Structure formats: C-alpha cells, structure tokens
Amino acid sequence: MIYELRVYHAMPGKLPALVDRFRKTTVGIWKRHDIRPVGFWTVDIGENTNDLYYMLQWDDMMHRERATAAFQSDAEWIKARDQSEAGGPLIASVTRTLLKPTDFSGLK
C-alpha cells in the first residue's frame, strides 16, 4: 500500500470554495475512478491556515497512475473545475508526498 499526502495551498480567501468543491464534486468523481481518500484536514491552529491537507491510499504506483489519468480526463471533473475557477484559480500550488508505511504503522 502507498499513501499520498497532498497539501493544496489555496489562493487567498479561496479555501472555503476549494473545500466546497471537494465536498460537492471531487470526492464523488473520485469514487468512479477508484481514488480512495483516507481523510481531509484544514489547519485550525498553526501556520498555513489557508491550506487543505488530504491523504489518498493507493494499491501501488500503477493504480495511482491509472486512476489519476482517468480522473484528469473526466468530462464532469473538467467542467466542475472550470466552473469553480470562473472567478480565478482556487489553488496557488500543490505539495505531493508519497509515503510508505513502516512495519509498525497502524496503516499498512
């Protein structure tokens, strides 16, 4: 199993719209493409309160590549993304980290 930690650094003032897009659209489309979210977080106390953190679970790198490609070309996703960004981009940048569980990790 591979886990991917992503951090979306939202444009100033755009975090609520970004979270809303995930809530209403993105997660549902992911299900069709076997993209498995483990959880989503925003920063309550600390730096970077304009960031959305989330983790995805992949069987292996081929699963990640196949599912990501299918999602990126999904017509419903492209339309939703374009509509949500009609007033400008929601994301300034993205950080991606692929994680491998240790032998003593609760997640395997």
- Give the domain range for residue 49: 2-99
pLDDT at res. 11: 97
pTM: 0.91
- Sequence-ordered strand ranges (E) for the chain: 2-10, 36-42, 51-58, 91-99
The Cβ of residue 88 has, within 10 Å, a number of other Cβ atoms equal to 9
CATH at residue 42? 3.30.70.100
Provide the domain count of the chain: 1
In a domain, 17, yes or no: yes
* Identity of the amino acid at 90: L
What pLDDT is recorded for position 47?
Answer: 87
In order along its 108 residues, the chain shows pLDDT tens digits of 999 999 999 999 999 999 999 999 999 999 999 999 999 999 999 988 999 999 999 999 999 999 999 999 999 999 999 999 999 999 999 999 999 889 998 887
Distance of alpha carbon 10 from alpha carbon 31, whole angstroms: 24
105: in domain = no
Return phi, psi of residue 100, to 5°.
-115, 125
What tokens does 36 get? 């498995």
At 80 the three-state DSSP class reads: helix
Q: Is residue 107 one of the residues assigned to a domain?
A: no
Domain membership flag for residue 85: yes
